[in-house]
Amino acid sequence: MSDVIIMEVENLDPIFKPKTMAVIGVSTTNPLFPGTIIYNKNLHEYPVKVFAVNAKGGSLEGNPIYKTITEVPAKVDLAVLVIKAKYVPEELKKCGEAGVKSCIVVSGGFAEVGHSCLEEELIKISKEYSLPFMGPNCIGIHTDFVDTFILPSERLATPPSGNVAVVSQSGGVLIDQILSKFYERQIGVAAAASIGNKAIINEITLLKYFNKHPQVSTIVFYNEGFKANSGQEFVQLAGSLNKDIILLKGGKSKFGAKAAQSHTAAIATNFSLISSSFRQAGIIEAVTEVELVTFTKAISFGLKGTENGNIVILSISGGHAVLAADLCAYYKLNLVQLTDDQKNLLRANVNPSIVDIASFENPIDLTGSVSDEDIEKCLELLLSFDSVEGVVVLLVPYVPTITMQIGRRLSNIVRNNKIKKPVVAYLPWLEIYGIIIRGLELAKSIPVAHTVEEAIQMIHALHLKGLKNKHR
Amino acid sequence: MSDVIIMEVENLDPIFKPKTMAVIGVSTTNPLFPGTIIYNKNLHEYPVKVFAVNAKGGSLEGNPIYKTITEVPAKVDLAVLVIKAKYVPEELKKCGEAGVKSCIVVSGGFAEVGHSCLEEELIKISKEYSLPFMGPNCIGIHTDFVDTFILPSERLATPPSGNVAVVSQSGGVLIDQILSKFYERQIGVAAAASIGNKAIINEITLLKYFNKHPQVSTIVFYNEGFKANSGQEFVQLAGSLNKDIILLKGGKSKFGAKAAQSHTAAIATNFSLISSSFRQAGIIEAVTEVELVTFTKAISFGLKGTENGNIVILSISGGHAVLAADLCAYYKLNLVQLTDDQKNLLRANVNPSIVDIASFENPIDLTGSVSDEDIEKCLELLLSFDSVEGVVVLLVPYVPTITMQIGRRLSNIVRNNKIKKPVVAYLPWLEIYGIIIRGLELAKSIPVAHTVEEAIQMIHALHLKGLKNKHR
């Protein structure tokens, strides 16, 4: 029976791209009631046609409130249930009877507080009607077409549309640690889902769905624990797919595992074992929330992985070069040793005033007397060296000899580079340098990090990606 | 002879708070010439009276250019030398003869490129005239009274005035990794100095000076290596002072040490030994550039250290609680086990709707159904528990039941708390929540971090500070 529903839920378009939607549980008196928030934001901000449902009837925003889902005068792709837990089974059943194609159960009060029987009831109904649902105990989803997050739009930061799909076991982490940070760093999102107790739709269902999703190239997971056996299945499936998968696991430490158990009843596991199976399957594992963001930025740019992590640091500040070199050691990246010929070639191509003060050992320090052209020439040459798989440019743009066009100039070099070696950049996050950031990131040529640590994390992510290709 | 000059340089007010200043080396034709930049920015933006010097004479910004320092019609507190290396000894000597009180030698081309004899000459002149100087090969200083950075003001981000002094061996790191990030996080600075080759004025000189500086409570160092024996002297001195000292050491790894050697001729050392001597002296060592910033923010708020690192995490998102708990394990902080009585007291003081869904184990998760008052009450109670030394509040403010006054409300509690236990907070860095950030940070009550990792780094810094008191 389980197989039947798994087969059915593989196409989840009615959830992620609904044309019609019903919100079951709205309030006519409290504008901050979750169901009302969901109804209003979809009515005014999204293309989906939305219907309000409440047994009391009445009207909301000038539209009728239907007393039951069966009264809604349209075929409903997605019903969102925002009612007390004890009423959910009955309403879910009605959805099944009314031919609703999919549901999101926002309501909490199920397995997460020990009411497993109530959750079992939902699973039974779902299977009976072949009605896939997300949740319970989740904050739902966000795409270009629909947003079921129970939070007011003006409180949220929404990232731009893009090629990343996000699946999170925690609604708070999804909204805040992922979507707000993606907004800050302008990482584009195709779909974001909070899966809550994942009674029916889980990581595996969504991995299959997003694997076939034409807009999605990178799939990001926040996970606190898999249900019995599904961890292994997830890893096997991930290993067989060609899309990039990034995962942050919460609850790895003793403290964290205990916290995860109260949060999502996640079972403590031997983490180093899991970690190595992730790596074998080509899953790019982020160790911290910050890594999750920087990894996603670099990977979502579609850059080539570096199989051996052989990189060059190109800096214009000696101190930055030192800090970056320390971080490369930490991340087990290899600072390629340049040959004398290569160093002489670099020297011959920069302006004479820096030849004696610059250091052409890797990390390269062109010093603050550098010009745009020096950086350009060096980057172009470095990308042409066989031994170099990728370059990290540390751009410290305060010196007036670096112009605001440096971003475009470096982006042009990367876009004209036939071998498509990855380049990532560090640039301080100051408003005045926005034009350089936009230049660098033009057509997804060079992802920009705003700490040296994040820049090295980015090139580390591309090494983790490269390892996957190497092991195949 | 060395002792004489060291005695003399202890009062460096003429450098950091000059009333009169001369810039030796300005251009009348190139507005981006470093000396001209320094002259113009001080003329228009700082209270110091500034004079231009160039052998050719002429005028700049309508003011005369003096042909030599001896012609300047005032007693000069600070002369900044921005001329070719080979001319520096002669001009430095003239400064000594003219009774100039202090110098900054911006010019490069000395020991850092192998010209040690030229640097020795400067040291000899300095001692002969009891004329302390900073540099050579540095970008100088910034205070409320003067700014000798060779970079145009419009390219820089300047942090607010405050109680932190910064001493950096790298100008690039000072400008970018420290001052720009301090601007971002609004960390107040009293003085910032780039010491370059530190021929005369070095970390020890400045440690002594800032120790007596009434405005300074926290002294921050970026260091790539100490000169022979001075590392030991620095550590001993640091251990005897009562001000908070934070240090980031670049060049710790094999790669980094090599880079530091090309950058500042720093000598590779056994880092784990240094690290433990730092800790014994109560120096708070940051391991990364990000830690340097978060540590400084927490420490500069003047919060009490936690001797045993016994803390509580107070979250309103289960996922955030899990991530924070993992980080506490990493940073060896102890999540205090709350007693049943304590948990019951917390339960009895929150609104009934969250009692059954919240978790009162540490990390505490009050869930998204929380109100301002719940957080307030819990924080107040936690601070009253003897076993709790500090609290990390993870504020995920998207739910509409949390108001924009939550910052002020929590700040009030901390400011009314007699035991002065430290509280740090996480809040996303979104414009809409600026009012909450300002509320929390009111009167330096609760420093705010913008990643969970940084929040835990802050409480970790306060533990490192507490260890110093414990070991005394």
pLDDT per residue as tens digits for the range A419-447? 899 999 999 999 999 999 999 999 999 99
User: Three-class SS of residue B209?
Assistant: helix
Q: The tokens of A57 are what?
A: 């009837």
Q: Are residues B173 and B266 in the same domain?
A: yes
Kindly determine whether residue B173 and residue A323, on different chains, have CB atoms separated by under 8 Å: yes
Are A396 and B175 within 8 A, CB to CB?
yes
For testing contact with chain B, the best of A115, A158, A269, A323 (most B CBs within 10 A): A323
H or E element that contains B20:
strand B20-24
Cα–Cα distance measured from residue B240 to residue A288, given in angstroms and rounded to the nearest whole number: 37
Predicted pLDDT at A268: 62
ipTM greater than 0.85, yes or no?
A: yes
pLDDT of residue A461: 98
In a domain, B245, yes or no: yes
The Cα of A297 is separated from the nearest Cα of chain B by a number of Å equal to 17
Mean pLDDT score of chain A: 94
Looking at beta carbons, which residues of chain B come within 8 Å of A180?
428, 430
Please check whether residue B347 lies inside any domain of the structure: yes
Q: Which residue of B has its CA nearest to A255?
A: B325
- Confirm whether B141 is domain-assigned: no
Residues A273 and A367 in one domain: no
- Flag if A400 and B151 touch (Cβ within 8 Å): yes
The answer to whether B224 contacts A319, with C-beta atoms less than 8 Å apart, is: yes
With DSSP H G I counted as helix, E B as strand and the rest as coil, what are the percentages for chain B, rounded to 5? 45, 15, 40
B85 and B49 housed in the same domain: yes
- Contact criterion met (CB < 8 Å) for A326 and B155: no
- pLDDT in the model for residue A272: 75
Per-residue confidence at A471, pLDDT binned at 50, 70, 90?
Answer: low
Reported as a single tens digit per residue, the pLDDT across B389-430 is 999 999 999 999 999 999 999 999 999 998 899 999 999 999
Question: How many structural domains does chain A have?
Answer: 3
Q: Which of B77, B102, B135 is the last residue of a domain?
A: B135
CB contact under 8 A, B222 and A335: no
Q: How many CB atoms lie within 10 A of CB B418?
A: 7
User: A333 and A448 share a domain?
Assistant: yes
* DSSP notation for A426-450: E----GGGHHHHHHHTGGG-S-EES
Q: Which residues of chain B neighbour A109 with C-beta distances below 8 Å?
A: 357
Instruction: Using a cut of 0.80, tell me whether the model's pTM lies above it.
Output: yes
Q: Does residue A133 sit in the same domain as residue A193? A: no
**Quick check: B108 and A357 CB within 8 A?**
yes
| Contact in structure between A341 and B270 (CB atoms under 8 Å) | no
- How do residues B299-313 score in pLDDT, each as one tens digit? 999 999 999 999 999
Instruction: pLDDT band for A8, please (50, 70, 90 cuts).
Output: low
Q: Which residue of B has its CA nearest to A357?
A: B113
Residues of A in Cβ contact (< 8 Å) with B318: 170, 172, 259, 262-264
Domain of B215, CATH number, reads: 3.40.50.261
Mean pLDDT of A401-407: 96
CA–CA min distance A260, chain B (Å): 6
Determine, yes or no, domain membership for A10.
Answer: yes
> Which residues in chain A have their CB less than 8 angstroms from residue B401's CB?
32
Does one domain contain both B208 and B344? no
How confident is the model over A75-124, as pLDDT tens digits? 999 999 999 999 999 999 999 999 999 999 999 999 988 899 999 999 99
A219 touches A210 (CB < 8 A): yes
Q: Which of B250, B274, B300 is the last residue of a domain?
A: B300
User: Measuring CA to CA, how many Å separate B56 from each of B34, B52, B203?
Assistant: 17, 11, 37
Both A319 and A274 in one domain: the answer is no
Does one domain contain both B175 and B52?
Answer: no
Burial class (CB in 10 A: 0-12, 13-18, 19+), A29: exposed
List B220's β-bridge partners, or say none. B166, B246
Closest CA to B180 of B96, B30, B55, B289: B289
Edge-first strand order for the sheet with A78-81 is A59-60, A63-66, A49-53, A20-24, A78-81, A102-105, A133-134
In a domain, B147, yes or no: no
Q: Residue A456 is which amino acid?
A: I
Q: Note the pLDDT tens digit of each residue in B227-256.
A: 887 899 999 999 999 999 999 999 998 888
C-alpha B217/C-alpha B210 separation (Å) is 8
| Rounded Cα gap, residues B466 and A430, in angstroms | 34
- The verdict on residue A144 lying in a domain is no
Q: How far apart are CA B415 and CA B302, in angstroms?
A: 13
Residue pair B362/B353 in contact (Cβ under 8 Å)? The answer is no
Per-residue confidence band for B470, with pLDDT thresholds at 50, 70 and 90:
confident
Contact list in A for residue B400 (CB cut-off 8 A) is 32, 37, 151-152, 155
Q: Find the residue in A nearest to B428 (Cα).
A: A176
User: Residue B3 has what pLDDT?
Assistant: 45
* A117 class by beta-carbon count within 10 Å (0-12 exposed, 13-18 middle, 19+ buried): exposed
Provide, as residue numbers in chain A, all residues whose Cβ is less than 8 Å from the Cβ of B222.
319
Task: Clarify whether residues A4 and A35 are in a common domain.
Answer: yes
Across the interface, of A262, A357, A451, the residue whose CB is closest to B290 is: A451
Query: Is residue B14 over pLDDT 80?
Result: yes
Per-residue pLDDT band for B262 (boundaries 50, 70, 90) equals confident
Interface contact A173-B264, CB threshold 8 A: no
Instruction: Say yes or no: B122 and B194 in one domain.
Output: no
**Are the beta carbons of B289 and A453 separated by less than 8 Å?**
yes
The CATH number linked to A73 is: 3.40.50.720
Instruction: Identify whether residues A101 and A23 lie together within a single domain.
Output: yes
Using the beta-carbon criterion (under 8 Å), do A253 and B222 form an inter-chain contact? no
What token pair was written down for A404? 């605001």
**Distance in Å, alpha carbon of A37 to nearest chain B alpha carbon:** 10
Give the integer Cα–Cα distance in Å for A192 and A212: 16
Q: How far apart are CA A205 and CA B160, in angstroms?
A: 51
Distance CA A472, CA A233 (A): 19
Digit-coded pLDDT (tens) for B19-55:
999 999 999 999 999 999 999 999 999 999 999 999 9
Output the CA–CA distances (angstroms, integers) from residue A318 to A84, A99, A221, B172, in the order listed: 61, 66, 37, 7
B-chain residues near A251 (CB < 8 A): 322, 325-326
**Best interface-test mutation with A: which of B310, B331, B398, B437 has the largest number of A CBs within 10 A?**
B398
Confidence bin at A472 (pLDDT 50/70/90): low
Q: Is the pLDDT of residue B7 over 60?
A: no
A180, closest residue in chain B (CA to CA): B428
Q: What is the arithmetic mean of pLDDT over B188-213?
A: 96
For A155, nearest residue in chain B (alpha carbons): B398
Nearest one of B82, B109, B226, B241 to B167, comparing CA atoms: B226
3-state secondary structure of A303: coil
B288 → closest Cβ in A401, A432, A453: A453
Q: What is the pLDDT of residue A3?
A: 45
Give the confidence band of A1 by pLDDT, cuts at 50, 70, 90: very low
Give yes or no for a contact between B191 and B16, defined as CB atoms under 8 angstroms apart: yes
Domain that holds residue B419: 304-470
Per-residue pLDDT reduced to its tens digit, A307-355: 999 999 999 999 999 999 999 999 999 999 999 999 999 999 999 999 9
Please report which residue ranges of A195-270 form alpha helices under DSSP H: 203-212, 230-240, 254-264
pLDDT digits (tens, 9 = 90+) for A144-196: 999 999 999 999 999 999 999 999 999 999 999 999 999 999 999 999 999 99
Kindly state whether residue A69 falls inside one of the protein's structural domains: yes
Interface-testing mutation among A398, A399, A406, A435, with chain B (most B C-beta atoms within 10 A): A398
Q: Is residue A152 part of a domain?
A: no
Residue at a domain's end among B236, B265, B300 = B300
Residue of A nearest to B251 (CA): A322
Q: Which of A141, A105, A122 is nearest to A15 (CA)?
A: A141
* Closest CB from B172, B361, B396 relative to A396: B172
Give tens-digit pLDDT for A127-140.
999 999 999 999 99
List pLDDT tens digits, range A240-286.
999 999 999 999 988 888 888 877 777 666 777 788 889 999 999 99
Digit-coded pLDDT (tens) for B312-361: 999 999 999 999 999 999 999 999 999 999 999 999 999 999 998 899 99
Same domain? A262 vs A316? no
Residue tagged 């947003």 (tokens): A147
State the pLDDT at residue A262: 79
Dihedral in degrees, nearest 10, Cα atoms A351, A356, A360, A363: -100
Beta bridge partners of B315: B365, B394
Distance from CA of A354 to the nearest CA of B (A): 11
